[in-house]
């Protein structure tokens, strides 16, 4: 059996002076750890950061009139591009749908595996993990950092601190720069930022996101999760007795105490009070106090404890992901009770059904959405004009939204009121029941249109007016209903 390192780590809760109204910050020095959950966290970090840093550089050909960046929120021209999908501002409901899906996804993950989002995928966790890694490379692990911070001033320590903050700022600047690349073409924005040619606005946002990354991931860290994030406040509502949460199995671990090599395990628990679970915790809690607000469910204490259990020859999972129901059963049995996993519960099924419904609706609408839309504004000043032959004329502003990347020719026809003649200003030849109009690629074409109705056909003060716009090449038709007004009889 290998020697187990005993740490004198104490949780933030114990160290903090709970007396005054304002608490000093207790610095957390998370210790490096290895194990399956740490590997999972590294994998999540590598995948997520790769997506973030690489995505703006991917290209997607959309023809000569549109940007070729695969993912781009073009704020200036009001377009959002995602590979083959192009979203116009009035279709921002897709964003609403995505936010709903994200919310339900986090609900689902929480009800199954506790705060898995917080522990593995939240940007705050991912970037903090990255910054902690940088810190360890420069300043060493927990023990070395604590010693140096306590030691009197030495130039070497100062150099290390300086190097760490410089490295953090570099990471933060890259993060901030890539953020800009999601809004301005990466191949334009990034060189411009580096060479000092970018606009003040770009530099402002670059500085803003660099500063927030540096402050939140370098300085604030667990303070964000503990004090700023609303999620921990309602985690109790998101969890139930079948959610897997990081659990210290007290019925197995207690009574805890230091263990002398080869001594008997009779009458005592498996916890040898080595405090490794506290030393590795990124939020500075003692999981042996039970589930608490600060726990982000990352499972690093599970890795730490399992390594210790292996060394002292006891079974693993003294700390592990467990449900409250299983924990209670084991507690009642005075030992391990058979574990039950209930993934299909009313709430998880409901979350999945809602996600499928919303996601399905979004996909359906994306697949079948028109590349064509028409807006018609009825002229209000004047509402109508009586002409010299007694007929009545109404004016309309017709906007044709051509969402394709080619110039398109459309037929604008009037389906109601019966007998109305259409005239488009600037297309004086086009009189009758329909007119042929063109719209440039990826743009809105605006036309002034008059409908004239003989007095005899005016059957009421207000008639429905229906415009039909047909794209001849694609056979697609967009309809829009408005009103045709005439004088009171």
Largest CA distance in the chain: 113
25 versus 39: smaller Cβ distance to another protein: 25
Q: Which of residues 18-57 bind another protein (CB under 8 A)?
A: 18-25
The DSSP secondary structure of 56-114, one letter per residue, reads GG-B----TTS--BSEEEETTTTEEEETTEEE-GGGTHHHHHHHHHHHHHHHHHHHHHS
Sheet strands (E) in 335-455: 372-378, 385-386, 392-402, 408-416, 421-424, 427-432, 434-439, 443-453
Residues 63-82 as x/- pattern, contact with another protein by CB under 8 A: --------------------
Give the Cα separation of 232 and 242 in Å (integer). Answer: 18
Give the Cα separation of 440 and 312 in Å (integer). Answer: 75
8 Å CB contact between 280 and 31: yes
344: contact with another protein by CB under 8 A = no
Q: Total residues contacting another protein (rule CB under 8 A)?
A: 28
CB of 413 to another protein, least distance (A): 21
Give the Cα separation of 80 and 89 in Å (integer). Answer: 8
Q: Specify the stretch interacting with another protein by CB under 8 A; choose among 134-142, 326-334, 385-393, 428-436.
A: 385-393
CB of 332 to another protein, least distance (A): 24
Query: Sign of dihedral through CA atoms 377, 383, 384, 385?
Result: negative
Q: Specify the stretch interacting with another protein by CB under 8 A; choose among 13-21, 116-124, 276-284, 311-319.
A: 13-21
200 versus 388: smaller Cβ distance to another protein: 388
Q: How many CA atoms lie within 13 A of 413 on its CB side?
A: 11
**Cβ–Cβ contacts within 10 Å for residue 60, how many?**
15
CB of 441 to another protein, least distance (A): 19
223 versus 375: smaller Cβ distance to another protein: 223
Q: 3-state DSSP call for residue 246?
A: strand
200: contact with another protein by CB under 8 A = no
227: contact with another protein by CB under 8 A = yes
User: Hey, what are 110's tokens?
Assistant: 């929480």
314 versus 393: smaller Cβ distance to another protein: 393
8 Å CB contact between 176 and 208: yes
The string over 424-462, giving b where at least 16 C-beta atoms fall within 10 Å of a residue's C-beta and e elsewhere, is beebeebeeebbebebeebeeeebebbbbbeeeebeeee
Q: Specify the stretch interacting with another protein by CB under 8 A; choose among 148-156, 251-259, 318-326, 376-384.
A: 376-384
Give the Cα separation of 36 and 22 in Å (integer). Answer: 38
Q: Specify the stretch interacting with another protein by CB under 8 A; choose among 78-86, 109-117, 315-323, 390-398.
A: 390-398
88 versus 231: smaller Cβ distance to another protein: 231
Give the residue, chosen from 385, 409, 438, 473, that forms a contact with another protein under the rule CB under 8 A: 385
389: contact with another protein by CB under 8 A = yes
User: Hey, what are 174's tokens?
Assistant: 């890259």
Q: Which of residues 412-451 bind another protein (CB under 8 A)?
A: 425, 450
Give the residue, chosen from 386, 418, 436, 438, that forms a contact with another protein under the rule CB under 8 A: 386
170: contact with another protein by CB under 8 A = no
Q: Specify the stretch interacting with another protein by CB under 8 A; choose among 119-127, 152-160, 373-381, 457-465.
A: 373-381
Q: Which residues bind another protein (CB under 8 A)?
A: 16-25, 223, 227, 379-383, 385-390, 393, 395, 425, 450, 455
């Amino acid at each position: 059996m290998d020697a187990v390192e005993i740490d004198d780590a104490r949780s933030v809760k114990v160290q903090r002076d709970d007396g005054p109204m304002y608490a000093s910050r207790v610095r957390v020095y998370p210790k490096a750890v290895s194990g399956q959950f740490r590997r999972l966290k590294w994998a999540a970090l590598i995948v997520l950061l790769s997506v973030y840093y690489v995505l703006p550089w991917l290209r997607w050909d959309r023809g000569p009139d549109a940007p070729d960046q695969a993912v781009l929120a073009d704020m200036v021209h009001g377009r959002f591009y995602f590979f083959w999908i192009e979203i116009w501002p009035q279709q921002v409901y897709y964003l609403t749908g995505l936010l709903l899906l994200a919310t339900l996804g986090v609900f689902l993950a929480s009800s199954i595996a506790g705060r898995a989002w917080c522990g593995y995928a939240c940007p705050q966790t991912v970037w903090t993990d990255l910054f902690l890694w940088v810190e360890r490379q420069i300043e060493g692990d927990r023990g070395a950092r604590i010693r140096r911070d306590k030691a009197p001033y030495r130039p070497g320590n100062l150099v290390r601190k300086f190097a760490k903050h410089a490295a953090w700022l570099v990471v933060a600047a890259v993060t901030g720069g890539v953020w800009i690349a999601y809004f301005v073409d990466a191949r334009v924005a990034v060189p411009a930022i580096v060479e000092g040619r970018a606009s003040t606005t770009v530099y402002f946002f670059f500085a803003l996101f660099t500063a927030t990354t540096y402050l939140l991931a370098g300085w604030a860290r667990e303070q964000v999760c503990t004090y700023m994030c609303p999620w921990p406040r309602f985690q109790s509502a998101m969890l139930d007795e079948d959610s897997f949460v990081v659990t210290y199995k007290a019925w197995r671990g207690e009574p805890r105490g230091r263990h002398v090599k080869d001594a008997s395990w009779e009458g005592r628990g498996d916890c040898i009070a080595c405090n490794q679970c506290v030393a590795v915790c990124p939020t500075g809690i003692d999981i042996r106090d039970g589930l608490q607000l600060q726990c982000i469910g990352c499972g690093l204490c599970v890795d730490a404890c399992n390594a210790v259990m292996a060394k002292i020859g006891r079974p693993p999972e003294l700390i592990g992901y467990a449900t409250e129901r299983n924990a209670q059963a084991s507690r009642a049995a005075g030992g391990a009770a058979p574990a039950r996993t209930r993934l299909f519960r009313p709430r998880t099924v409901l979350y999945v059904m809602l996600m499928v419904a919303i996601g399905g609706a979004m996909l359906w609408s994306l697949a079948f959405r028109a590349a064509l839309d028409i807006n018609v504004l009825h002229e209000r000043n004047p509402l109508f004009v009586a002409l010299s032959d007694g007929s009545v004329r109404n004016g309309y502003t017709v906007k044709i939204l051509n969402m394709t990347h080619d110039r398109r020719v459309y037929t604008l026809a009037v389906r109601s009121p019966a007998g109305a003649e259409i005239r488009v200003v600037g297309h004086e030849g086009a009189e009758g029941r329909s007119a042929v109009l063109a719209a440039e690629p990826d743009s809105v074409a605006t036309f002034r249109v008059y409908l004239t109705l003989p007095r005899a056909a005016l059957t009421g003060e207000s008639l429905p007016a229906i415009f039909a716009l047909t794209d001849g090449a694609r056979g697609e038709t967009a309809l829009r209903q408005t009103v045709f007004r005439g004088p009171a009889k």
